[in-house]
Chains A and B, each alone.
Chain A
Amino acid sequence: MSRQSLAAVLARHRTKPPNILQALLEIQGALGAVSVRAVPEIAKALDVTEADVAGVLSYYPELRPAQPGRHLIRVCLGESCMANHGAKVLARVRAHLKIEVGETTRDGRFTLAPIYCVGNCAVGPSLMVDGDVIGRVNPDQVPALLDSYT
């Protein structure tokens, strides 16, 4: 994590009262992750305790302490996608990438995470790759779909 840019993001956040979640989301947006090692510096800049920052960082599923792979594959496990047998999509993704949910492929290409509904229920089962929603996913298309990301 580049200290320069952490400082730059934090400089924008001298607002009163400090908003820890918003600051962490901005840091993650700029740097890709929020390292636990950065907690003291963030706490100091926001004028809150380290426990406050660490508490928020560990609470939210979307705040990541480590850099994810180049592509974030999120398989929908919401009810509507479950009803449309999205579990089979997840099984194919795991098999093709040879990783479990929460893991990153060894080449750093993909991180696999679950997501509970992307609001695409009527066009499910759904996947979200980076910011894009992909609908009506057929498990048999999964290998070709994943291979299209470099």
Chain B
Amino acid sequence: MTRLYLSNDTSARAAGAERLAQAWAHAPGVELVRTSSRGAFFLEPLVERDGPDGRPDSRIVWPNVKAEDLPNILAGIGGTPIGRIAFLAEQQRVTFANFGITGPLSLDDYRAHGGWQGLERARSLSPEAVIDELKTSKLRGRGGAAFPVWTKWQVAKDAAADQKYVVANADEGDAGTYCDRMIMEGEPFRLIEGMLICAKAIGATRGFIYCRQEYPAAARTLREAIAAAEQAGWLTHERERFHLEVFVGAGSYVCGEETALLESLEGRRGVVRAKPPYPALSGLYGKPTIVSNVLTFATVPSILARGGRWHASLGTEGSRGTMALQVGGRVKQPGLVEIPFGATLAEVIERFGGGMASGARFKAVQVGGPLGSLFPASRLDIPICYDAFSQAGAILGHGGIVVYDDETDMVELARHFMAFTADESCGKCTPCRIGSVRSREILEQLQSGHSRPGDLDLLADLSETMKAASLCALGQRAPYPVLTAIEHFGSEFRK
């Protein structure tokens, strides 16, 4: 029997892994093992075999495989040692270290590759000591706002309440991002472990994973993982059981905002609540609640296992640790890149993205999703870290990097952004509700050649009002992609 590894991740399947699995299901001499994905999606479907010493880092891989390649793979013809795939070899994987190697729902695999060590350490410490470890680590939230994680945990821990909650924000609404999806589908136990550590630190006994409905495979995998972890006893500690459930959303972007998410979790319209009070004090059903991003929770286990100081030794002054960047759009090598903070945008696009896809010419790159900014070729020297981005008036958001080619019509893109905001605005505050509709109309008029003099000034005015007076970051930041498009590609708007 020859063991072949093939990813079961949604994107690997969409790239053809499922077709291979079907074609080879009854192939003699083949044992097919489904794994998470390496995240080198430009190589999917990627087939792997054990290398000479059987270690995961010596596997031999075949990229972009077709069903008829099987005889060659079995004969060992044409494969590449995994260590020679530069896209992967040059990364510094921590949270995604096991991706492509382990079976998503195998508790044995998870244990054998370092799983639960963070939780075991946390359970041997006092809640205060767990929070101290996070303080030392300087971990900031990966969901967009980059808030120090330990301060939220401290507030929730210190609050006296009969019930506290831990909520994973798995709404992953920023288009161009998929690292949360990869975690939920590929190593769901890591998310569960992070949530259990948080529960231990703040004294919570209930948790929810709010998963967007666009991710059916993630929700399914999570439910199976929770059942498996529960059965293996991981959800119960000192006879206290942590109740963990998956809640699937219903297609609203603003429900990724933490207070709208809590409204939605309670079953109501996903409308933003005014802050304060912050969820750490008054969240789900008015109880102390930690809402954190999936990637944030998934980063916690290694901090507990390896120590906060180790985490703080990676990255830059204000941004410690590694960041999962999701490089996409018109690059040659789209995929997941986990590296310490600090590399420039140009380096990431060139070294990992492999430059532009064949035949395409660079026009702009958008970082931070629908609320992020566009950067032209002249601004790619910016280091990827929270401080440099905030100084530039931009955000790193959830790590989405989308490259546009020179066929992209900037006016149409700007209109598209504002139409999205107008659709997704929850309607609670006027600047966002009205401002986004009016801005979209101005861009539509511009597009149809019916703009009036002063329209762009009006757009700028509306944007300033939205930025200053909106209740949440949707209205506050939605003007940025539009304004940066006008700033860098103004001539297209003044035709």
Contacts and interface: CB of A to CB of B under 8 A. Distances in A.
Nearest to B409: A87
Nearest to B213: A62
A82 B269 CA distance: 29
B215 A119 contact: yes
A83 B214 CA distance: 20
B329 A83 contact: yes
A83 B404 contact: yes
Interface in B322-346: 326-330, 334-336
B14 A123 contact: yes
Contacts of A131: 216
Contacts of A62: 213, 249-251
Given A134-B14, A135-B15, A25 B248 contact: yes
B400 interface: yes
B214 to A, nearest CB: 5
A60 B214 contact: no
B177 interface: yes
Among A21, A56, A77, A81: residue with most chain B CB under 10 A: A21
B330 A128 contact: no
A117 interface: yes
A120 interface: yes
B330 A84 contact: yes
Nearest to A23: B267
Interface string A106-150: 000000000111111111101010010111100000000000000
Given A21-B267, A25-B250, A119 B330 contact: no
A79 B329 contact: yes
Contact of B10 (A55, A77, A119): A119
Interface string B168-191: 000011111110110000000000
Given A55-B269, A83-B408, A128-B214, A135 B251 contact: no
Interface string A40-82: 0000000000001001100111110000000000000111111
A48 to B, nearest CB: 9
Interface in B147-182: 172-178, 180-181
A121 B178 contact: yes
B402 A59 contact: no
A79 B44 contact: no
Contacts of A135: 11, 14-15
A57 to B, nearest CB: 10
Contacts of B251: 60-62, 115
Nearest to A74: B214
B441 interface: no
Given A79-B366, A116-B253, A121 B328 contact: yes
A126 B479 CA distance: 26
Nearest to B179: A119
Interface of B: 10-11, 13-15, 41-42, 44, 172-178, 180-181, 213-216, 247-253, 264, 266-270, 285, 326-330, 334-336, 366, 369-370, 400, 402-405, 407-408, 413, 416, 420
B178 A79 contact: no
A119 B250 contact: no
Nearest to A81: B175
A39 B260 CA distance: 23
A79 B175 contact: yes
Nearest to B15: A123
Contacts of A116: 173, 175, 253, 420
Contacts of A126: 14
10 contacts: A21-B250, A62-B250, A78-B176, A80-B176, A82-B413, A83-B404, A83-B408, A116-B173, A121-B329, A136-B15
B10 A133 contact: yes
A25 to B, nearest CB: 6
Interface in A87-118: 115-118
B172 A123 contact: no
A119 B11 contact: yes
Contact of A79 (B176, B250, B267): B176
A124 B328 contact: yes
A60 B402 CA distance: 27
Nearest to B185: A119
Contacts of B269: 55-56, 59
